[in-house]
Amino acid sequence: MKKFDTLSLWRRIAAVIPLVMLLAMGMRLAHFPQAPMIHTYYPIALANALSGRDLAPEGHDINVFFQSERDWSFATDTAPTTGYDFVTTALHELAHGLGFSGNMYESYNIGFCGDGPYYWYPCPSPYDRLVVDSQGIPLLSYMEPDPRVLGSKLKGDANFGGPNTMLRNNHAWIKLYTPTIWDQGTSLSHLNPSGVSSAEDTLMYPTLPSRLRAIGPVTLGIMQDMGWQAAGNAPNLTSTGPMIVGANNPTPFTADILWAGYAGQPVTYTWTGDAHAIITHTDQTSHDTALLTWTTPGIKRVFVTATGIATPTATTRAVLVAALNVTDTLQGMAGQPYTFEATLLPSAIGFPITYTWETAGQPPITHPDGGADDTVTWTWTVSDTQQITVTALVADATITATHTVHIKTIVFNHWVYLPLVQKQ
């Protein structure tokens, strides 16, 4: 199913940008298999490019509407002397249609992402996932517990922090246009005019330059960070790995260089990510593998950068780390029923979950298509220490937890009373 994000953009054009939203089980979001980031709305053009097929053949990838009453200049190789430059404007709006657009917004000092007054805006997008504040903290993390903090960040402290962008910006994130008064359709979706040094990157300023025929290096870096590949002989880095992993479970992720110019040069791969230590592999080939482990649940971003080649390149993923917790009594009596509850964190998984419960002396119990929690009731007849194992199957991930309960047998003491003997 395709959902449309109606975006009020710069005064010259109204653009309508479709984004992919696959639905499973009502309003729960499912993802096309090649999506590098979980729980993320991709522009349909990018989703098609990543998947290698047309995911929404019934519609257009991008719709751009030009106002005919404007004084357009259609010059292609000379600067226009009057009117609006059509080619520059088209490049600018096509960049928005390809994903250069923020979907978080502020209203009445509250920060929103996918709900509120503009709830039809699908959020987050790949662009949103890489927006950080001046401390490098993702703005999406400010949604909880107080969305007013997000609202404040969206009016003055937003930067794009993707790894390719930083490689092209002297290893620093690039400041986005976020004026102190929120401007819907303009704020967050453009580069700050004081933040870039390349003349070509002025293409993505909130006010367009008079004439441009190229896209700047920072803008190209942002496109690569969202998932687009650079054309020509530029190296690209791709990564593979699961969408969901279990906490404390070492999981392999891979990275591959796609570059016609690779001829055996030694490559250094640097793996970083949210709540994860840096991993560096030197003297590698065009392929690398890293085991990544997280201890806390939540959505975690994974960055990998390849250096030592002509042009360093990077790629980004976002995975959901899930943890399973089993709660109830630690001690019980034989012959008494006990109910045990398993809770999967985070609660908003967005995928059907199959729970399987196992313990000695009891038949396994499977509950398909469950939610964020599940229960089972068992009764033991003998005294013993029982270990309960519960497994949650989510997409391709298997998350397991155990719980131990000590069962005792009730012992009844029988007293024998002697008959009363009265002394004569």
Q: Which CATH number characterizes residue 317's domain? A: 2.60.40.10
Are 121 and 195 found together in one domain? yes
Considering the domain boundaries, does residue 340 fall inside one? Answer: yes
Give how many domains the chain has, as a whole number.
3
Domain containing residue 346:
328-408
Specify if 11 maps to a domain.
Answer: yes
Whether 414 is in a domain gets the answer: no
Instruction: Assess whether 83 and 176 both reside in one domain.
Output: yes
233-245 pLDDT, tens per residue? Answer: 899 999 999 999 9
| Model confidence pLDDT, tens digit, residues 344-395 | 999 878 888 999 999 988 899 999 988 889 999 999 888 888 899 999 999 8
Predicted pLDDT of residue 211: 85
The answer to whether residue 418 is domain-embedded is: no
What does the pLDDT average to over 74-99? 84
More confident residue, 210 or 256: 256
pLDDT digits over 153-166, tens only?
A: 999 999 999 999 99
CA–CA dist 315, 309 (Å, integer): 15
Q: Select from 306, 322, 338 the last residue of a domain.
A: 322
Q: Which residue among 201, 226, 251 closes a domain?
A: 226
**75 vs 246: CA distance, rounded Å:** 56
Residue 142 and residue 8 in one domain = yes
pLDDT at 337 over 80: yes
8, 95: one domain: yes
- 17 shares a domain with 107: yes
Residues 179 and 249 in one domain: no
Last residue of a domain, one of 300, 322, 344: 322
Query: What does pLDDT average to over the chain?
Result: 85
Q: Quick one: 356 and 247 in the same domain?
A: no
Contact 223, 100 (CB under 8 A): yes
pLDDT on residue 8: 33
Mean pLDDT of 285-309: 96
**Are 286 and 334 in a shared domain?**
no
Unique residue bearing structure tokens 């007849």: 381
**Tally of CB atoms within 10 A around 264:** 7
- Whose CA is closest to 241, among 252, 226, 227? 252
In a domain, 204, yes or no: yes
248 and 363, same domain (yes or no): no
Q: What is the DSSP letter of 51?
A: H
Does any domain span residue 422?
Answer: no
Same domain, yes or no, for 395 and 296? no
Cα separation, 326 vs 20, in Å, equals: 36
Residues 206 and 243 in one domain: no
* Inter-residue contact 350 to 366 (CB < 8 Å): no
**Of 207, 194, 226, the residue nearest 35 (C-alpha):** 226
Same-domain status, 101 and 243: no
- Establish if 366 belongs to a structural domain: yes
